[in-house]
Structure 1
Amino acid sequence: MTPQPAPVGGTTGTGVRTGRVEVRYFAAAAEAAGVQEEHVDLPPGTTVGGLLDALAERHGPALADVAARCALLVDGVLHRDRDARVGAAVRVDVLPPFAGG
């Protein structure tokens, strides 16, 4: 049986509160992830790097390679620092470099 994700603002089996974030992938990131968007439950204190690592673990090395070059918009704000906290974000956009623009 596939475990169901914790509800938004729910708890994990250990009682740690989680938050759900919508992750949207664009261009090469979507191709590497195999999806254009998904919802991910994050424990408190998750960093940008922690989120990227979790996504790479979920989708494999192709996404890890692309994500290393991506910009992340966390609720519309650019984050490049892997140690920055995701906080109570609602949406994270994974944007690979685009040519020509």
Structure 2
Amino acid sequence: MTIVVRYFASARAAAGVDEEKVQLPSGASVADAVSELRRLHPEGLPRVLDAVSYLLDGVAVRDLGRVLVDGAELDVLPPFAGG
């Protein structure tokens, strides 16, 4: 299956792209996708991934064991400062 991963702020800088398509086996979870992102971008992204949150098709992900479906969109959101 193929998912679309969109990166924001420091995650975008660490990955070097705004978004990318990622191939995963059928039945893969959000945790599997995160592992693949660490493998694809070993330089700076793993450190950023330790502090991010995720949206899956626009909904906050609380359980990284959640199973993905083909065509899903996974947003990688670093903590944002502001007030």
TM-score normalized with structure 2 length? 0.89
Aligned to 2:40: 58
Q: Does 1:29 align with 2:11?
A: yes
Identity %: 43
- Alignment length, in residue pairs? 83
Q: Which runs of 4+ in 1 moved over 4 A?
A: none
TM-score normalized with structure 1 length? 0.74
Aligned to 2:26: 44
1:65 maps to a residue whose letter is R
RMSD of equivalent CA atoms: 1.4
Alignment of 1:72-91 (within 5 A): 72-91=54-73
**5+ unaligned residues in a row in structure 2: which ranges?**
none
Q: Greater RCO between the two (CA within 8 Å, min separation 6)?
A: 2
Instruction: Write the distance in 1 (CA, Å) between the matches of 2:68 and 2:50.
Output: 17
**5+ unaligned residues in a row in structure 1: which ranges?**
1-18
Query: Which of the two has higher C-alpha Rg?
Result: 1
